[in-house]
Amino acid sequence: MLVFLAALIGILAAIAAVVLKTSVHYLEGWVRSVPGAHLGNWLFLVFPVIGIMITVFYVRRFVKDDISHGVSRILHAISRNKGVMKLHNTYSSIIACTFTGGFGGSVGMEAPIVSTGAAIGSNVARWARLGFRRVNLLIGCGAAAAIAAIFNAPIAGLIFSLEVLRLDLTLTSVIPLLIATVVGAIFSSIFLGEGVEFYFTLSDPFNYGHIPFYILLGVITGLVSLYFTWMNGRVESGIRKIGHPYMRVMIGGTMLGILIFLFPPLFGEGYYTMRSMLSGQPEQLLENSLFGHMVDTTGLIFVGFMLLVLFFKAIATSLTLGAGGVGGVFAPSLFMGGITGFIVSRLTNLFSMWKVSEHNFSLVGMAGLIAGVIHAPLTAIFLIAEITGGYELFIPLILVSSISYMTVVYFQPHSIYTRKLAQKGQLITHHKDKTVLTLLNVENVLETNFDKMHPDDTLGELVRVIAKASRNIFPVTDEENHFLGLVRLDDVREVMFDHSQYETLKVHQMMIQPRATVHSGDSMDTVMQKFRDSGLWNMAVVDDGIYKGFVSRANVFNIYRKMLLELTEE
């Protein structure tokens, strides 16, 4: 059944990828054709504002939910929502991203497609009434199939789910993931053919003598990744401080339009720019540019132009997302990686006796940025290997991706997808114990087999209850079941046998106030923290003063162990 569902999800994710790719392609083509020669690129000043405005209107008027940061939403669903993703996530990101990307928003389509694929997996799993572990597996199948469909790279899709979503690699998970990615790649190829993002055949062989330059490229791509992550956080948080959503669109969109007007390569995803660099036609990047007539593509001025494009791409992407556009950072990472590799190779060729392949360095640079920005070196390695149709660049891909990742992690332990979740304490997909605790709630571990006492009951009545009780704690409540305190067996052990006090000593004289209580809405993280702080083994559950029962450490640990076994079993 899992294999069948994985194949179904692969087909649906591929259809989603085809729909989004096709709609953005035709809308962007129409937008690019509107200005014409008589207007040049002047209309590019307003196109991004129009696209983001339509996106924000659609999201606020029809979706009425936050659909930004697609991969982060997947991680949040797994971490905090038991893998549940709303039904509208199967189409809302596609519609919103079409307007954002088609009108020139400087973002990628990968995150919306991955989010859509994951939502398809989540809803199919819920329809099939599967448990939490298999829901997460089918979410991974949807995300993996989406990556495979976009790039025709099934292995990269599989590794993306394992590396970014942190799914367990077991025999029961790897087969459905493989099926989903293969089916996704096949179906997208049938519909798109050569329209898959990009595919290149290597023309230059790998030269072992260039390894020192690849090591340098790894360090540089790591630093550029760090810059991208930092700039994204600063610009997005800054633009989101503008309270009114449509004012935010106007300010952010206008700033974006000015950047695109000055640097046309920033328009849209950037695959046009990447194709130009990889096909040996960098002069195409100067089309419609104000600097076109003053830049020689063979000299240092062109390298300076590319450095400015690299610098402003991070800002353009962040403005698009911060202003309310829907898209991702995957394509911008590839874009910036390709430019970084091109710049390093061009400077090497200009100022050294060695001549390196600009084509190869651009491709390997893409892997370096992917590894650094999303903290996924294996995904980066196999993605570039698959889109180039071979493994001739495997050694430099491993070198650059590994060095870039290590460089970034030294300064920033969390990726651009997980940084905000980690800051809020909501990133638990990377920790099995926190995942299990999230699946638990107070109602799951509530125990009610405690004998209640009234504050005016006598010691004699308490002793008679103790004689038949199975617990050593006795909650004290009034007629309306308000929790007043508790009596512990250890505290009354000495007076239990003093028959002279059986009728005179009252329960309210023996009860104590516990050091901590629990609310039924508390998370299990909060409950366990209260256990640690108080040193108690049992805590009363009290809601608005009303006694509900007790939670005990022993019961929590027993249920925790059972759920952990269910999550990790083959």
Q: Summarize pLDDT for 330-382 with one digit per residue, the tens.
A: 889 999 999 999 999 999 998 888 889 888 999 999 999 999 999 999 999 99
**Residue 410 sits in the same domain as residue 470:** no
Q: What is the pLDDT of residue 524?
A: 77
Helix, strand, coil percentages for the chain (3-state, nearest 5):
65, 5, 25
DSSP 442-490: HHHH-B-----B-TT-BHHHHHHHHHH-SSSEEEEE-TT-BEEEEEEHH
Q: Does residue 414 lie in a domain region?
A: yes
Q: What is the pLDDT of residue 25?
A: 85
Q: Helix 300-322 vs helix 245-262: angle between axes, to the nearest 10 degrees?
A: 170
Q: Does residue 125 lie in a domain region?
A: yes
Q: Please name the residue ranges forming H helices in 288-393.
A: 300-322, 330-351, 358-373, 377-387
**Residue 255 sits in the same domain as residue 176:** no
483 CB-near residues (< 8 Å, 6+ apart): 475, 476, 477, 517, 540, 542, 545, 546, 547
Q: What is the pLDDT of residue 446?
A: 87
| Number of domains comprising the chain | 3
DSSP 514-555: -S-EE-TT--HHHHHHHHHHH--SEEEEEETTEEEEEEEHHH
Q: Does residue 124 lie in a domain region?
A: yes
Which SS3 state, helix, strand or coil, does residue 512 take?
A: strand
Which SS3 state, helix, strand or coil, does residue 171 take?
A: helix
**Residue 443 sits in the same domain as residue 545:** yes
| Residue that is written with structure tokens 């062989």 in the block | 205
Q: Answer yes or no: are the C-beta atoms of 260 and 52 closer than 8 Å.
A: no
Q: Look at residues 428, 446, 462 and tell me which one is the last residue of a structural domain.
A: 428
Provide the domain limits for residue 191. 2-195
Q: String of b and e for 400-411 (b: at least 16 CB within 10 Å)?
A: bbbbbbebbeee
∠ CA(383), CA(387), CA(393), 5° rounding?
75
Rounded to 10 degrees, what is the CA torsion of 74, 76, 80, 84?
-20
3-state secondary structure 110-168: HHHHHHHHHHHHHHHHHHCCCCHHHHHHHHHHHHHHHHHHHHCCHHHHHHHHHHCCCCC
**Residue 302 sits in the same domain as residue 157:** no
Distance, C-alpha 67 to centroid of its chain: 12
**Residue 291 sits in the same domain as residue 147:** no
Q: What is the pLDDT of residue 141?
A: 94
Q: Does residue 145 lie in a domain region?
A: yes
Residue 515 corresponds to which tokens in the numbers above?
């050091």
338 CB-near residues (< 8 Å, 6+ apart): 273, 274, 277, 278, 362, 363, 365, 366
Q: What is the pLDDT of residue 198?
A: 59
Per-residue pLDDT tens digits for 265-317: 888 888 777 877 777 777 677 766 666 666 666 678 888 888 999 999 999 99
Residue 31 corresponds to which tokens in the numbers above?
């937008």
Q: Does residue 119 lie in a domain region?
A: yes
Sheet holding 538-543, edge to edge: 517-518, 538-543, 546-552
**Residue 423 sits in the same domain as residue 443:** no
**Residue 26 sits in the same domain as residue 74:** yes
Q: Does residue 224 lie in a domain region?
A: yes
Q: Does residue 415 lie in a domain region?
A: yes
**Residue 42 sits in the same domain as residue 77:** yes
CA 254, CA 9: separation in Å to the nearest integer?
39
**Residue 385 forms beta bridges with which residues?**
none
495 CB-near residues (< 8 Å, 6+ apart): 459, 501, 505, 510
- The CATH number of the domain where 239 resides is what? 1.10.3080.10
- The CATH number of the domain where 451 resides is what? 3.10.580.10
**Residue 266 sits in the same domain as residue 152:** no
Q: Answer yes or no: are the C-beta atoms of 448 and 549 closer than 8 Å.
A: yes
Amino acid identity of residue 549, one-letter, is G
Mean pLDDT across the chain: 85
**Residue 45 sits in the same domain as residue 94:** yes
Q: What is the pLDDT of residue 293?
A: 62
**Residue 113 sits in the same domain as residue 132:** yes
Q: Look at residues 410, 428, 446 and tell me which one is the last residue of a structural domain.
A: 428
Give the residue ranges of the chain where pLDDT is below 50: 37-39, 429-430, 570
Q: What is the pLDDT of residue 38?
A: 43
Q: Look at residues 151, 171, 195 and tell me which one is the last residue of a structural domain.
A: 195
**Residue 310 sits in the same domain as residue 230:** yes
Q: What is the pLDDT of residue 437?
A: 60
Q: Answer yes or no: are the C-beta atoms of 339 and 302 closer than 8 Å.
A: no
Q: What is the pLDDT of residue 98?
A: 93
Q: String of b and e for 420-431 (b: at least 16 CB within 10 Å)?
A: bbbeeebbbbee
Q: Does residue 85 lie in a domain region?
A: yes
